């Protein structure tokens, strides 16, 4: 089959790789009909290469049609149209039963000290082949895949159940925005876009989106957010003007480790990506730092006693944080990988609603053949051509 493979720092290519097969009784094989590029994939593209091998298949946002099932794949059957959550969870362990599927004890990558295995996401998370491919082996298929209607609706109505929507929903849940309250979303990529829409849907009175890309700002404004261009406006001053001087009830950081405005950390990240693996791995694991501009902005923005919800991925081991400021402001911080299956039952009725209350059909800006994936990665990384979300089509 054809699949998008990692080949080196900022180098990916579509190659012929072996077709996936049933390896465990609870496996399924899915023919992928749509697979998206996530902001987290860009961390692999340019930062976390030390934990990848040339030829690793990338991608963790996929959906398609079940082709084959193992004898213990539950009610799943060939022909089912499914969305595949990016985290691999069993549904029966203590963590899964307590809504912490991202910490599944069955698939935890214990040799790396990591949580549940993820599709297409490095040795740190199990080195499981990803979904930017024609076919995908799905472990724990008795629990993970979400069966969606085969109703003629485009994949984009359901695809974002794989990651974007559950991540955004959890970010808003963790933010604890009171009814009629205020929330600032930092970063208006796909997660930030949906976090802003989910917050408004769940009753926030003021949703503010902050970014520097005109197309992202325009999209958020189209869905009701008050937008601030960080290149043109004093963000802290503008937000305080909107919140009676005290700041918002919550801030959602949808940016993470690659924030603009952190030049020293950016230089260190890029330098570590060019080191041999034997040097880069311990540097990342024990001395790595993130670009913290978004996080520091969030700490400054949020009101005293407010909540900072981190949906963007951070990976540093030695990040300096302003603990005095956090303590003095009495800030609560919630964070972590999305527990996808915890939220899909809440989200399914919304994505299936013909009224499209979360605007899932207004997120994808580019749908390209899988063969153009290297070009799509470069475009997404550069925020070129109005790119907000890329969906790849393996059959095109």
Q: What does the pLDDT look like over 86-145, one tens digit per residue?
A: 999 999 999 999 999 999 999 999 999 999 999 999 999 999 999 999 999 999 999 999
Cβ count near 62 (within 10 Å): 30
pTM, two decimal places? 0.92
pLDDT at 224: 97
Q: Cα angle at 234 between 231 and 235, to 5 degrees? A: 90
In tens digits, the chain (396 residues) has pLDDT values of: 999 999 999 999 999 999 999 999 999 999 999 999 999 999 898 877 888 999 999 999 999 999 999 999 999 999 999 999 999 999 999 999 999 999 999 999 999 999 999 999 999 999 999 999 999 999 999 999 999 999 999 999 999 999 999 999 999 999 999 999 999 999 999 999 999 999 999 999 999 999 999 999 999 999 999 999 999 999 999 999 999 999 999 999 999 876 454 554 555 455 555 556 554 555 444 444 567 889 999 999 999 999 999 998 887 777 889 999 999 999 999 999 999 999 999 999 999 999 999 999 999 999 999 999 999 999 999 999 999 999 999 998
Both tokens assigned to 28: 């399924």
Q: How far is CA 244 from the centre of its chain?
A: 32
> What does the alpha-carbon distance between residue 174 and residue 14 come to, in Å, rounded to a whole number?
38
pLDDT at 319: 82
pLDDT at 316: 72
> What does the alpha-carbon distance between residue 64 and residue 136 come to, in Å, rounded to a whole number?
9
pLDDT at 357: 98
Query: 183 - beta bridge partners?
Result: 207, 250
> What does the alpha-carbon distance between residue 275 and residue 56 come to, in Å, rounded to a whole number?
19
pLDDT at 287: 44
Both tokens assigned to 2: 């054809």
pLDDT at 283: 44
Collect all residues with Cβ–Cβ distance below 8 Å to 356 and sequence separation of at least 6.
Answer: 157, 362
Would residue 386 be called left, alpha or beta, if left means φ above 0 and alpha means ψ between -120 and 50 degrees? left
pLDDT at 61: 98
CB 147 within 8 A of CB 45: no
pLDDT at 308: 98
Q: Tens digits of per-residue pLDDT, 231-256?
A: 999 999 999 999 999 999 999 999 98
Both tokens assigned to 309: 């919800």
């Amino acid at each position: 089959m054809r699949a998008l493979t990692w080949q080196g720092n900022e180098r990916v290519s579509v190659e012929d790789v072996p077709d996936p097969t049933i390896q465990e009784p609870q496996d399924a094989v899915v023919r992928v009909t749509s697979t998206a590029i996530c902001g987290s994939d860009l961390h692999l593209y340019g930062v976390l290469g030390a934990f990848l091998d040339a030829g690793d298949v990338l991608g963790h946002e996929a959906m398609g049609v079940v082709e084959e099932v193992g004898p213990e794949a539950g009610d799943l059957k060939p022909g089912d149209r499914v969305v595949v959550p990016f985290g691999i969870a069993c549904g029966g362990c203590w963590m899964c039963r307590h809504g912490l599927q991202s910490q599944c004890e069955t698939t935890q990558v214990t040799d790396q000290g990591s949580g549940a295995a993820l599709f297409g996401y490095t040795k740190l998370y199990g080195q499981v082949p990803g979904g930017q491919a024609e076919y995908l082996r799905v472990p724990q298929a008795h629990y993970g895949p979400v069966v969606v209607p085969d109703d003629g609706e485009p994949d984009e109505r359901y695809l974002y159940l794989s990651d974007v929507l559950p991540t955004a929903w959890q970010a808003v849940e963790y933010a604890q925005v009171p009814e009629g309250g205020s929330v600032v979303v930092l970063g208006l990529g796909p997660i930030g876009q949906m976090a802003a829409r989910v917050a408004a849907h769940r009753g926030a009175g003021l949703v503010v989106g902050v970014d520097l890309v005109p197309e992202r700002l325009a999209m958020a404004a189209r869905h009701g957010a008050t937008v601030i261009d960080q290149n043109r406006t004093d963000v802290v001053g503008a937000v305080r003007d909107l919140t009676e001087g005290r700041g918002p009830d919550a801030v959602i950081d949808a940016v993470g480790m690659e924030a603009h405005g952190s030049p020293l950390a950016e230089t260190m990240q890029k330098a570590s990506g060019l080191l041999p693996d034997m040097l880069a791995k311990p540097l990342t694991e024990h001395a790595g730092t993130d670009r913290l501009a978004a996080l520091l902005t969030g700490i400054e923005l949020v009101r005293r006693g407010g909540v900072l919800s981190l949906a963007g991925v951070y990976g540093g081991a030695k990040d300096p944080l302003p603990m005095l400021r956090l303590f003095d402001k009495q800030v609560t911080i919630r964070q972590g990988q999305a527990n996808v299956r915890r939220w899909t039952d809440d989200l399914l009725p919304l994505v299936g609603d013909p009224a499209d209350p979360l605007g899932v059909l207004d997120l994808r800006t580019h749908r390209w053949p899988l063969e153009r994936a290297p070009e799509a990665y470069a475009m997404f990384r550069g925020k070129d051509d109005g790119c907000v979300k890329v969906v790849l089509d393996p059959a095109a």
